[in-house]
A = this chain, B = another copy of it.
Amino acid sequence: MPFAHCLFAEPLASYLELSAADCKLVEEAASRNVKMIGPRRDLVSEGDPPDSVKVVLEGWVARYKQLRNGRRQILSLLIPGDISDSNVFVLDKMDHSLGSLTPVRYTEIGQAEFEALAASSPRIGKALWWRELVEISIQREWTTNIGQRNAYERIAHLLCETYWRMQVRGLAHGNTCDCPLTQTDIADATGLTPVHVNRTLQHLRGDGLVELRAKRLRITDPKGLQAAGMFSPSYLHPAAPPVAA
């Protein structure tokens, strides 16, 4: 299944030069147990015992926490090719949920299979650690984004990061890419109100930096947007091409 190969094995391979044999192992693991789910549904809910690692093949997934007072925080976005936490098995239960933003096609890899995969080659094991470190690195950047930047900067940063990640996966075309986020999603990801997100997006649009309409993101001024969001991609630790400038 070339699709699974392209999106799961390749990001790992690009960093670590996995051997053809390694790639085959990864590819197989990611094509064994493919599932589909509709939009706005939980793949895993808080409290569930973690029983498998998920690999997103198609569509977007949000990692989020729901608070008792009704508010929710989106913690991260999983785009095609992303993996939910490696080795979650060592935890007793999920402290957050994974929910689809779109219809999603994904793979589940069980504990035994995952551990076999991780142990099958030192390079694969290392690649999985790398993915995990990049994930925590992104999480730290989000903490910083919400803690230190104002609405305008936050949203600019989020959109920059999103476009950048899509583009590294080969999912961008020119200055545009899919982006199924609603303004409410953006609000939940940035710690703002939907109303304020709306006004801020208008502001960004008015400044000629980005447009976000009909589930598509178009970056009209890449340099400007990066500057506005104080975005510097080093925290993504990419073995990757620079953004189209």
- Residues of chain A having any CB pair with chain B under 8 Å: 63, 65, 67-69, 71-73, 75, 85-88, 90-93, 95-96, 126, 129-130, 132-133, 135-137, 139-144, 146-148, 190-191, 230, 234-235, 237
In the complex where A95-B137, A130-B90, A132-B132 touch, is A144 in contact with B67 (Cβ < 8 A)?
Answer: yes
- A93 and B85 CA atoms in complex are apart in Å by 22
User: B142 and A237: CB pair below 8 A?
Assistant: no
Residue ID in chain B nearest A235 by CB atoms: B95
Which of B72, B88, B133, B190 sits near A91, CB closer than 8 Å? B133
User: B88 and A147: CB pair below 8 A?
Assistant: no
- A139 and B139 CA atoms in complex are apart in Å by 7
User: B143 and A73: CB pair below 8 A?
Assistant: yes
Residue ID in chain B nearest A73 by CB atoms: B144
In the complex where A87-B133, A139-B143 touch, is A148 in contact with B191 (Cβ < 8 A)?
Answer: yes
User: A75 and B144: CB pair below 8 A?
Assistant: yes
User: B191 and A146: CB pair below 8 A?
Assistant: yes
The 4 closest A-B pairs by CB, nearest first: A147-B191, A73-B144, A95-B235, A90-B130
Chain B residues with Cβ below 8 Å from A73 are 143-144, 147-148
- A139 and B133 CA atoms in complex are apart in Å by 12
User: B147 and A190: CB pair below 8 A?
Assistant: yes
Which of B92, B147, B190 sits near A237, CB closer than 8 Å? B92
Chain B residues with Cβ below 8 Å from A190 are 147
- A144 and B130 CA atoms in complex are apart in Å by 24
Distance in angstroms from A142 CB to nearest chain B CB is 5
- A235 and B154 CA atoms in complex are apart in Å by 26
Distance in angstroms from A168 CB to nearest chain B CB is 15
- A110 and B143 CA atoms in complex are apart in Å by 29
- A93 and B137 CA atoms in complex are apart in Å by 12
Which of B91, B96, B129, B235 sits near A140, CB closer than 8 Å? B96
User: B136 and A135: CB pair below 8 A?
Assistant: yes
